[in-house]
């Protein structure tokens, strides 16, 4: 019997190549994990052993990969014991990385206006998705990122014009700017060049400037805290735009074996409990909100 799922997740002893700290206990870590780098897709995550003293792994989204150089990059916030131990891992140390895991985002070619919404540590999969969309001329991605703590990069004024953006909302993520991907930032903390408010507020302003016909070409992709995803789902429903969200739940195995990471999903046969690790982490927003 053909079993395409077999051998698709790799366990690698990954050397830490770079590990940088940012404000708000945020970290960007690059590790050498060539097999994971080769197979990861936007939305995939990896299950990492933060420290040998803490045997249970922690799930982190993959932000960037370089399949040729064989590295994978994560952006995470130290929130508890595991992520705090992870933040102490030094260059040259090895970390057991298991990945790539999960069903990725699936953009539909008939909706080229891809709207990517990332909040806080929900930014990583949006960066990955943007990097893959930019290599396909069909898509015109617009990324909106929000953070209440300083962004884990130095925002700079964008030279990419985004019609429909309010006056003065010009700050962008330099990496995306260099890729030629349109991006704008939002925050309630009053950072210069950022829209004052939530990602969904700015997304709504932009959507309101689109014609009905243009709106039918939009698809939303979102990752971030639960209330933000709920707001994204409402926005998408209101504007009748399809929306894919990446969810989080506590995990043990991360390969579908323990049914520990489930969320309730609406299906044609009624409610079902689906595993975030292998049935997700990306779900159709209208089935989970």
Ligand X SMILES: Cc1cc2nc3c(=O)[nH]c(=O)nc-3n(C[C@H](O)[C@H](O)[C@H](O)COP(=O)(O)OP(=O)(O)OC[C@H]3O[C@@H](n4cnc5c(N)ncnc54)[C@H](O)[C@@H]3O)c2cc1C
Binding site residues, ligand X, CB under 6 A: 45, 56, 58-61, 74-77, 79-83, 121, 124, 248-251, 276, 281
Interaction with another protein in 78-137: which residues (CB under 8 A)?
82, 96, 98
In the complex, minimum distance from the CB of residue 64 to ligand X, in angstroms, rounded to a whole number: 11
In the complex, minimum distance from the CB of residue 259 to ligand FMN, in angstroms, rounded to a whole number: 7
**Would you say 232 and 245 are in contact if contact means Cβ atoms under 8 Å apart?**
yes
Should residue 258 be labelled a site residue for ligand FES when binding is judged by CB under 6 A? Answer: yes
The two tokens of residue 198 are: 């939530």
The smaller minimum CB distance to ligand FES, of residues 113 and 261, is found at 261
In the complex, minimum distance from the CB of residue 45 to another protein, in angstroms, rounded to a whole number: 14
The smaller minimum CB distance to ligand FES, of residues 14 and 254, is found at 254
Q: What are phi and psi of 32, to 5 degrees?
A: -85, 105
**Would you say 95 and 48 are in contact if contact means Cβ atoms under 8 Å apart?**
yes
Among residues 267, 258, 226, 261, the alpha carbon closest in space to that of 245 is found at 226
Segment interacting with another protein (CB under 8 A) among 54-62, 105-113, 140-148, 190-198: 54-62
SS3 state of residue 151 = coil
Cis peptide preceding 100, ω within 30 of 0: yes
Segment interacting with ligand FMN (CB under 6 A) among 16-24, 49-57, 213-221, 252-260: 252-260
Task: Say if residue 55 is exposed, middle or buried (CB neighbours under 10 Å; 0-12, 13-18, 19+).
Answer: exposed
Classify residue 149 by its DSSP letter.
S
| Number of residues in contact with another protein under rule CB under 8 A | 36
Quick one: how far is CA 274 from the chain centroid?
A: 20
In the complex, minimum distance from the CB of residue 263 to another protein, in angstroms, rounded to a whole number: 7
| Strand duo 171-172 + 182-187: pairing | unpaired
In the complex, minimum distance from the CB of residue 18 to ligand FMN, in angstroms, rounded to a whole number: 35
Should residue 256 be labelled a site residue for ligand FMN when binding is judged by CB under 6 A? Answer: no
**Would you say 239 and 207 are in contact if contact means Cβ atoms under 8 Å apart?**
yes
d(CA 51, CA 54): 5
Site string for ligand FMN, 210-249 (x = CB under 6 A): ----------------------------------------
| Partner residues linked to 185 by β-bridges | 145
In the complex, minimum distance from the CB of residue 275 to ligand FES, in angstroms, rounded to a whole number: 4
Instruction: Show the beta-strand stretches assigned E in 130-255.
Output: 142-146, 156-157, 171-172, 182-187, 195-196, 218-223, 243-246
In the complex, minimum distance from the CB of residue 274 to ligand FES, in angstroms, rounded to a whole number: 10
* Residues lying near ligand FES in the complex (CB under 6 A): 251-254, 256-261, 275, 277
Site for another protein, rule CB under 8 A: 1, 3, 5-11, 35, 49, 54-57, 82, 96, 98, 249-253, 255-263, 271-273, 278
């Amino acid at each position: 019997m053909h079993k395409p799922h077999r051998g698709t997740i790799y366990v690698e002893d990954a050397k830490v190549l770079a590990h940088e700290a940012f404000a708000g206990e945020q970290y960007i870590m690059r590790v050498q994990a060539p097999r994971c780098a080769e197979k990861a897709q936007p939305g995939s995550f990896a299950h990492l052993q933060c420290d040998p003293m803490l045997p249970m792994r922690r799930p982190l989204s993959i932000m960037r990969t370089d399949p040729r150089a064989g590295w994978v990059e994560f952006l995470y916030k130290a929130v508890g014991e595991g992520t705090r131990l992870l933040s102490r891992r030094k260059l040259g140390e090895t970390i057991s990385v298991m990945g790539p895991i999960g069903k990725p985002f699936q953009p539909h070619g008939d909706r080229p206006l891809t709207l990517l919404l990332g909040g806080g540590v929900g930014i990583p999969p949006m960066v990955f998705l943007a990097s893959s969309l930019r290599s396909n001329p069909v898509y015109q991605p617009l990324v909106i990122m929000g953070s209440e703590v300083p962004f884990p990069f130095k925002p700079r004024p964008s030279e990419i014009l985004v019609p429909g953006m309010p006056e003065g909302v010009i700050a962008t993520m330099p990496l995306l700017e260099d890729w030629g991907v349109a991006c704008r930032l939002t925050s309630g903390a009053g950072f210069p060049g950022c829209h004052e408010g939530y990602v969904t507020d700015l997304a709504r302003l932009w959507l309101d400037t689109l014609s009905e016909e243009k709106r039918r070409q939009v698809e939303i992709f979102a990752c971030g805290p639960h209330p933000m995803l709920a707001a994204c789902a409402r926005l998408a429903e209101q504007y009748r735009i399809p929306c894919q969200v990446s969810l989080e739940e506590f995990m043990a195995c991360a390969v579908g074996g323990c049914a520990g990471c489930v969320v309730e999903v609406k299906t044609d046969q009624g409610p079902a409990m689906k595993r975030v690790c292998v049935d997700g982490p990306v779900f159709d927003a209208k089935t989970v909100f």
